[in-house]
Amino acid sequence: MREFSAAFQTELMELLKWRRDVRHFKTDPIPLDLLQKCLNAFQTSPSVGLSEPWRIVRITSPERRAQALDNFTIANADALRGYSDERAKTYASLKLSGMRDAPEQLAIFCDESTLKGAGLGAQSMPEMRRYSVVAAIMNFWLVTRANGLGLGWVSILDPEQLRRDLDVSNDWALVAYLCVGWPEHETLTPELETVGWETRAPEITLIEK
């Protein structure tokens, strides 16, 4: 069995801690070979039935980027109306997307109709395909961080509108809209914790049955 040194284990935990959701990006481009190197992390990820259901759309068109940004702006305004008083004030002050600056933007879909894997493991729990995509995104996220890049996951979007704007198959379900680039600054503390939106639990609680 492959064994990893104590030093490597420590470095791995440091990587996990430094994996932050980035919303403040420099506009400097990412070399395409570096982006591809990070994307190769998808191929190392587990997937139900070896279905590899992830579908990655690299958004480079200014028109489609503008549509995605408009999508976010509308969804963000709708979300703000769900809060009041201090929560609304804090929400309005948050920067919840790096879409204006991030040099690379990726829409990650799950192909719900894929024939790869022959449905193994997904017949009783078809959502396992989407979980597989999430696991692959985390691999990608960690590799981007290890290479000095930052990643921001934008979830304040209308997924159906984005799917239509990108003109992809109706069988593809949006899992994530990712902004990737060089972070303006680095911190171990999540921004939502810094501004007092929420606090992180001090430890994991096990529920025993």
CB neighbours of residue 41 within 10 Å: 18
How far is it, in rounded angstroms, from Cα 197 to Cα 54? 32
pTM for the full model?
0.95
Phi-psi region of 125 (alpha: psi -120 to 50; beta: other; left: phi over 0): beta
User: pLDDT (tens digit, 9 = 90+) per residue, 147-200?
Assistant: 999 999 999 999 999 999 999 999 999 999 999 999 999 888 988 998 889 998
How far is it, in rounded angstroms, from Cα 57 to Cα 20? 23
Phi first, then psi: give them for residue 134, nearest 5 degrees. Answer: -60, -45
What tens-digit pLDDT sequence spans the chain (209 residues)?
A: 899 999 999 999 999 999 999 999 999 999 999 999 999 999 999 999 999 999 999 999 999 999 999 999 999 999 999 999 999 999 999 999 999 999 999 999 999 999 999 999 999 999 999 999 999 999 999 999 999 999 999 999 999 999 999 999 999 999 999 999 999 998 889 889 988 899 988 899 999 99
